[in-house]
Amino acid sequence: MSAQTPRQGATYTGRKLHGLVVQQLGHRVVGGTYAAGSVLPNEELLCQELAVSRTALREAVKVLAAKGLLEARPRIGTRVRSRDHWNLLDPDILAWRCATGVDAEFLRHLTELREIIEPSAAALAATSRTSEQLEAIASALHAMEAASNITEWVQADLGFHTAVLKATNNPLLMPLAAIIGSALESLLGVTARTSDNFNQALPDHRKVFEAIQAQEPQNALHRMAGMLSDTRKLIRQTIQPDVS
């Protein structure tokens, strides 16, 4: 995935132009093109490079400042803030992070986040899910069963975990589906591509579904926790293949 750059001679207006500029600058900051502590090129140069107006550029800078990426200072310019100021759970930042390539530390942090959230979410889904939400989980499981390649598997796997989170019916947990979803595809792609069989985790997903279907919260929690523990081990083997 790569950030889309406004094309020379193309006509972009309104929200579409605004989104393109935000995406391009955000991708550059998160990807390290503009390092932490550095000052962005001046407005005139950036406007020429991106083929946008000063107004569009300034609006994009405001959005990225709200996400913690940038800081505008009088007589100094727009500076890139250090990573500890970034809103790392922002879906856009996670998506840009995945688009620039994942490293061992990122994978570890993402796995830890999932292990904290998803087992308890599965337990809550077992007691809170509606029949329609159970059907959504089942539909994702069926898509995993039918997947004939890695790409189809990753999309179906993402749909499964998102459906479980939504089935909690907790208004504070449900937005995490979008947050995790923006980065989960990258993690799932790595683990699937390093498996001997990309769908080897299918039985584990089926057991999670069956526990939610039977409304057994503790069983759902343990099944999800076990599956994520296996994912962590697979990632460790991928990063350090000589470590058993």
Distance (Å, whole) CA 179 – CA 183: 7
- Domain 102-239, CATH: 1.20.120.530
**What is the DSSP secondary structure assignment for residue 197, as one 8-state letter?**
S
- Domain 14-85, CATH: 1.10.10.10
- Looking at per-residue confidence, does 2 or 17 come out higher? 17
Q: Are 153 and 63 a contacting pair, CB within 8 Å?
A: no
Average pLDDT over residues 226-239: 80
Bridge partners of 77? 73
Q: Are 168 and 212 a contacting pair, CB within 8 Å?
A: no
Angle, CA 129 vertex, CA 124 and CA 132 arms, to 5°: 160
221 pLDDT tier (thresholds 50, 70, 90):
very high
Smallest Cα–Cα separation from 85: which of 20, 33, 30? Answer: 30
Report whether pLDDT(8) > 50.
Answer: no
- Looking at per-residue confidence, does 62 or 154 come out higher? 62
Bridge partners of 147? none
Smallest Cα–Cα separation from 96: which of 105, 108, 106? Answer: 106
Q: Beta strands 77-80 and 70-73: pairing type?
A: antiparallel
What is the chain's mean pLDDT, rounded? 85
Distance (Å, whole) CA 244 – CA 238: 11
Report whether pLDDT(7) > 60.
Answer: no
Report whether pLDDT(123) > 80.
Answer: yes
Please report, rounded to a whole number, the percentage of residues in the chain having pLDDT higher than 70.
Answer: 84
Report whether pLDDT(139) > 50.
Answer: yes
Average pLDDT over residues 41-59: 91
Angle, CA 169 vertex, CA 210 and CA 206 arms, to 5°: 15
139-166: buried (b, 16+ CB within 10 Å) or exposed (e) per residue? ebbebbeebeeeeebbbbbbbbbbbbbb
Distance (Å, whole) CA 239 – CA 244: 11
Residue 66 burial (CB count, 10 A): 11
Burial category of 13 from C-beta neighbours within 10 Å (exposed 0-12, middle 13-18, buried 19 and up): exposed
Report whether pLDDT(242) > 70.
Answer: no
The full set of domain ranges for the chain reads 14-85, 102-239
Report whether pLDDT(13) > 50.
Answer: no
Range name among 67-71, 139-143, 188-192, 229-233 with the lowest pLDDT average: 188-192
Lookup: tokens for 203: 């039985």
Report how many helices (DSSP H) and strands (DSSP E) the chain contains, helices first: 10, 2
